Structure 1
Amino acid sequence: MNRPALSLLAGVVALAAVTGFAEMKAPAASGASASRSAAVLPVERTSLLCPAPSTSDLADTSYTSFTPVTEGTDSGGKAELQSATEESGDGTSGKKKPAKPVLEPKAPGTPATGDSSGADAPALLGTAEGKYAPGWTVQATTEVAAGNGRGLQGVNCTAPDTEFWFPGASTGTGRTDYVHLTNPDDSAAVVDIQLFGKDGDLKSTVGEGITVEPHASEPILLSTLTDDQETDLTVHVSVRSGRVGASVQALDSKLGGDWLAASTDPAGSLVMPGIPKDATSVRLIAFTPGDSDADLKVRLSSPTGMITPAGHETVHVKAGMTTAVDLGDVTRGDPGSLVLTPTDQSVPVVAALKVVRGKDGKQETAFIPATSPVGKRATSADNSAKGSTLSLAAPTRAATVKVTASAGSGGGTPVSKTYTIKAGTTEDVELPVPAGLKGTYALTLEPQSGGPVYASRTLSATEEGVPGFTIQTLPDDRGTVSVPETDEDLSVLQK
């Protein structure tokens, strides 16, 4: 055999050694299935990105990290949250080394906290490995004492991705909105930002090809991308190369402000859970990215069942155009969740709610994007004995949910409680609180039976008569992944 033939054979053998274990075993002669059920395993690495919290000198931000205890993880690993670009000298050789992390969790099952203040707090990059990775959650909560966006602002640090939809942004009078783009990787990311108003795409080349440098974050002021003043906008972030974390910071000169998280992927039916019972104004913003209009039923899931808001039985969303509907004080003193379903043909839609509490110049704003169900498990960090509200919605079938309160960041004993939510209803449940609680604690939600459950957590802190609040939805924490069971197949060597 000549040398080229030997090289080719060696290459085939090497390739088989790499790929053979990923090959599915051929069906047995008895007719057994070619594939076995997938194994559900804990994830081994999680990345989270936190945007720069504020441009206000009067801002105080707390970071809370939590990983629920997950069976099947390795005993090792670590997690840390660090400035995206900050470095410090080592004091001897003049070389650079990473700056001290904002926080480093000590063990799964117990929250870890850190803080920052002022206008110079940077964006953060977070990485968790091993036993710290499954379900790792980081919450950034900022209190702004006065000025534009004053009040309580909260955001769950996000995983990097390549596409995001943000219905509910604005370039209208009194609003200052930024889309924050954070790049966790070693190479630059290239991003396009599209804006869609009531009449469709706001044509602009300014938002095309935005470069986000490695390990860096860019806040993009929306009003620099268009001259149009639009009360209601849908922001579409798409990544040409690389990946980013994206969040919208919506600041109002009179109504406070908050972070607007991305809507769940476009879908025919959507749920926005956890409208506070004392909401004085609720505004629905919806957008369909396809070529077909969407006609949607609008229903409120209340503690007693599904209600159709008078005068807002349906909403028509024109293709490629942002539609907004004022629902007023739709909850009328009870907590609720907004449910959108197609009247006939299902057309993918994204949506969010702008929620206002308070009256007479003492008002605050928060947002509830459409979200996916809790799934296998959801995690909420940064809860306190007072000021935390958990909303659970079961829009289709009754469901039973186990809620576990972790140990506190400074001490306490975990405690669990199980709730049954009736079909079509939303409930603000009485939270379990760890015995001997010191510091903040985390909540872990695990559906036990029944239909899909949607959830959100509200933090409240009234200052000088202003009802500060922020709402985070609680989709699946992506702590596990399905891995198909495979066998070595040496027959590839004979092909």
Structure 2
Amino acid sequence: MKSTSLSLIAGTVALAAVTGFAALTAPGDGGTTEAKAATRLPVERSSLLCPAPGLSDLAETTYTSFTPAGGSGGEAGTAELRQSTSTTADDATDKGGNKDKKDKAKADPGKPVVSLKEPGKPATADESGADTPALVGTATGRLAPGWTTQQTTTVEAGGARGLLGVSCTGPDTNFWFPAASTAKSREDYVHLTNPDDTAAVADIELYGPDGTLKSDVGEGITVPARSSVPVLISTLTSKVAEDVTVHVTTRTGRVGAVIRAADEEAGSDWLAASADPTGTLVLPGIPADATSVRLVAFAPGDDDADLTVKLLGKTGAISPAGHEDLHVKSRMTAGVDLKDITRGEAGSLLLTPTRGEKDTPVVAALRVVRGKGDAQEVAYIPATGPVGAQATAADNRAKGSTLSLTAPGATATVKVTASAGSGGGEQTVKTYTVKGGTTLAVTPPVPSGLKGGYALTVQTQSGGPVHAARMLALPQDGIQMFTVQTLPDDDGTVEVPAVEQDLSVLDD
């Protein structure tokens, strides 16, 4: 028998042993091949990247890391986040190629910033100041399925003032960010973090209301191994635009990408990537007391998009007066001010193709403001996928959380688990029914005897898809500081296909 045949047999037997699905039969023995249906198994490895939070010397950052209990019965594993090597903003536009420039901060790879020990109980860590670098992390074994980390930063004063929250992201090669800006009142940075041991090369494209904002500076940005690079968007183009869509792709490698958006009047927060382009979008979690809501959408394909805009509230759907429809031209960013659309009732935005129109893929995000005048505070809500099997918001406090659950189609039931606290307490579980076409905004359950922070895990039990978001509000000196994180499926499981044995391919 040829050596290649032996290798194929070994590989087939190993795959059968791993999956447990294949029934082996030799060719010509008259046996039959049996293969079970594909199944979903817990992932065995997860990666997360947290952007550099350092905005000012007044920045106080909390990391909350969590893996839901019951996701896997596998080996113990680890879940740790360590410092990356962060470069300065000036180095970023130099494409990482100037070896003479010094890094802003060097990592200490020997000590994790935050380390999770067990599922079902969050671990926290605190950092202060402007020099805190980005974090790069990996979880393995039973800590990998559903591993989630939130980075929450409070800046009480200055141009970066605000409560900035972001769910640390997994690495990828393609990101869309509507609702960025190059306006003079804004200072928006794209943070690129490379988790790997080799350099990544990224491109940043900008699209305004009239199409592409041309720039050569955004091409070929080198992100060194296990490093983070912030890029000031306004340095990539000479054009000033209130609404800009940012597209991040990689030529080589992969990165985590997120935008830190700062406004002179309304403070700052993180803008996470929109869900992948699709014809129907849900943007959940608009707070009841929002004083301004701006919708920004972009159609990346060759066709224009015509969308119907609806607010899903407590009792059903309403169409915002004067903004029932939105026309989005191909490769042009469309922005519309929906003002105080919620009028005292929390809700979620639903974008669907206008009746009779083509189902054209789009991306979208909301810029949401609470308060007025000097007491304004801003947050961003990107379009997001459904909760699916499970999703988690890692950082919650004894007070200040609001959970929004939206069922754009059929009525659904979800289970919400409040984990044990990072410093003590017992988990609490509550079930909610969300009527079709509505948004249910609730104060989520709090663990009994809570000490420290805790996590909220949402699981779909029955009915149609549910989209969710969690608002964390931490008022400071009369300012209603807040941040909103969406809760898409955590991809804690992966579908393993059935294996069908056919040894006839080994015949000479």
TM-score (norm 1): 0.93
Work out whether residues 20 and 490 of structure 1, in 8 Å CA contact, stay in contact via their aligned partners in 2: no
Work out whether residues 188 and 261 of structure 2, in 8 Å CA contact, stay in contact via their aligned partners in 1: yes
| 4+ residue segments displaced more than 2 Å | 15-30, 32-36, 70-73, 96-99, 487-492
Task: Quickly say closer, same or farther: Cα 1:211–1:403, change in 2 above 3 A.
Answer: same
Is the aligned partner of 1:286 residue 2:279? no
Match of 1:90 in 2: none
Match of 1:18 in 2: 11
Work out whether residues 196 and 320 of structure 1, in 8 Å CA contact, stay in contact via their aligned partners in 2: yes
| Residue among 406, 410, 413 paired with 1:397 | 410
Further displaced range: 480-489 or 57-66: 480-489
Is the aligned partner of 1:453 residue 2:466? yes
What value does the CA root-mean-square deviation take over the aligned residues? 2.1
Q: Which amino acid aligns with 1:239?
A: T
Match of 1:430 in 2: 443
- Measure, in 1, the Cα distance between the counterparts of 2:7 and 2:361: 45
- Measure, in 2, the Cα distance between the counterparts of 1:268 and 1:251: 30
Work out whether residues 82 and 111 of structure 2, in 8 Å CA contact, stay in contact via their aligned partners in 1: yes
Work out whether residues 388 and 460 of structure 1, in 8 Å CA contact, stay in contact via their aligned partners in 2: yes
| Residue among 313, 316, 319 paired with 2:327 | 316
Match of 2:93 in 1: none
Q: Which amino acid aligns with 1:258?
A: D
Q: After superposition, give the CA deviation of every residue in 1:334-379 in whole Å (9 maximum; x if it has no partner).
A: 0000000001210000000000000122100000000000000011
SS of alignment partner, residue 475 of structure 1? coil
Match of 2:64 in 1: 64
Q: After superposition, give the CA deviation of every residue in 1:7-52 in whole Å (9 maximum; x if it has no partner).
A: xx2134224422565597799999x998532121110000000000
Shift of 1:441: 0.6
- Measure, in 2, the Cα distance between the counterparts of 1:444 and 1:259: 22
- Measure, in 2, the Cα distance between the counterparts of 1:362 and 1:144: 14
Further displaced range: 16-25 or 203-212: 16-25
Q: Which amino acid aligns with 2:175?
A: F
Task: Quickly say closer, same or farther: Cα 1:35–1:108, change in 2 above 3 A.
Answer: same
Match of 2:189 in 1: 178
- Measure, in 2, the Cα distance between the counterparts of 1:62 and 1:355: 23
Work out whether residues 177 and 274 of structure 2, in 8 Å CA contact, stay in contact via their aligned partners in 1: yes
SS of alignment partner, residue 62 of structure 1? strand
| Residue among 270, 278, 296 paired with 2:307 | 296
Q: After superposition, give the CA deviation of every residue in 1:74-117 in whole Å (9 maximum; x if it has no partner).
A: 1320111110139xxxxxxxxx9723211111211000000111
| Residue among 347, 353, 357 paired with 2:366 | 353
Listed as ranges, the matches of 1:310-349 within 5 Å are 310-343=321-354, 344-349=357-362
Is the aligned partner of 1:252 residue 2:263? yes
- Measure, in 2, the Cα distance between the counterparts of 1:270 and 1:121: 35
Match of 2:146 in 1: 135
- Measure, in 1, the Cα distance between the counterparts of 2:263 and 2:428: 39
Work out whether residues 16 and 492 of structure 1, in 8 Å CA contact, stay in contact via their aligned partners in 2: no
Listed as ranges, the matches of 1:42-57 within 5 Å are 42-57=42-57
Listed as ranges, the matches of 1:30-109 within 5 Å are 36-85=36-85, 98-109=109-120
- Measure, in 2, the Cα distance between the counterparts of 1:247 and 1:488: 44
Q: Which amino acid aligns with 1:177?
A: D
Work out whether residues 357 and 363 of structure 1, in 8 Å CA contact, stay in contact via their aligned partners in 2: yes
SS of alignment partner, residue 98 of structure 1? coil
Match of 2:503 in 1: 490
Q: Which amino acid aligns with 1:60?
A: E
Shift of 1:145: 1.3
Q: Which amino acid aligns with 2:7?
A: A
Work out whether residues 83 and 108 of structure 2, in 8 Å CA contact, stay in contact via their aligned partners in 1: no
Is the aligned partner of 1:190 residue 2:201? yes
Is the aligned partner of 1:227 residue 2:228? no
Work out whether residues 190 and 260 of structure 2, in 8 Å CA contact, stay in contact via their aligned partners in 1: yes
Further displaced range: 36-45 or 163-172: 36-45
- Measure, in 2, the Cα distance between the counterparts of 1:430 and 1:197: 38
Shift of 1:487: 4.6
Further displaced range: 20-29 or 227-236: 20-29
Is the aligned partner of 1:462 residue 2:500? no
- Measure, in 2, the Cα distance between the counterparts of 1:360 and 1:170: 21
- Measure, in 1, the Cα distance between the counterparts of 2:250 and 2:73: 32
- Measure, in 2, the Cα distance between the counterparts of 1:118 and 1:263: 29
Match of 1:93 in 2: none
Q: After superposition, give the CA deviation of every residue in 1:256-295 in whole Å (9 maximum; x if it has no partner).
A: 0100000000000000001000000000000000010000
Report the identity percentage: 61
Match of 1:416 in 2: 429
- Measure, in 2, the Cα distance between the counterparts of 1:381 and 1:144: 20
Task: Quickly say closer, same or farther: Cα 1:228–1:35, change in 2 above 3 A.
Answer: farther
Is the aligned partner of 1:156 residue 2:167? yes
Task: Quickly say closer, same or farther: Cα 1:22–1:130, change in 2 above 3 A.
Answer: closer
Shift of 1:254: 1.2
- Measure, in 2, the Cα distance between the counterparts of 1:55 and 1:430: 30
- Measure, in 1, the Cα distance between the counterparts of 2:24 and 2:206: 50
Further displaced range: 228-237 or 35-44: 35-44
- Measure, in 2, the Cα distance between the counterparts of 1:128 and 1:71: 13
- Measure, in 1, the Cα distance between the counterparts of 2:11 and 2:198: 27
Shift of 1:54: 2.4
Q: After superposition, give the CA deviation of every residue in 1:302-361 in whole Å (9 maximum; x if it has no partner).
A: 001011111111000000000000000000000000000001210000000000000122
Further displaced range: 349-358 or 17-26: 17-26
Q: Which amino acid aligns with 1:305?
A: G
Match of 1:123 in 2: 134
Task: Quickly say closer, same or farther: Cα 1:324–1:14, change in 2 above 3 A.
Answer: same
Work out whether residues 57 and 128 of structure 2, in 8 Å CA contact, stay in contact via their aligned partners in 1: yes
Listed as ranges, the matches of 1:370-409 within 5 Å are 370-409=383-422
Q: Which amino acid aligns with 1:18?
A: G
SS of alignment partner, residue 154 of structure 2? strand
Work out whether residues 301 and 425 of structure 1, in 8 Å CA contact, stay in contact via their aligned partners in 2: yes
- Measure, in 1, the Cα distance between the counterparts of 2:72 and 2:61: 34
The alignment covers a number of residue pairs equal to 479
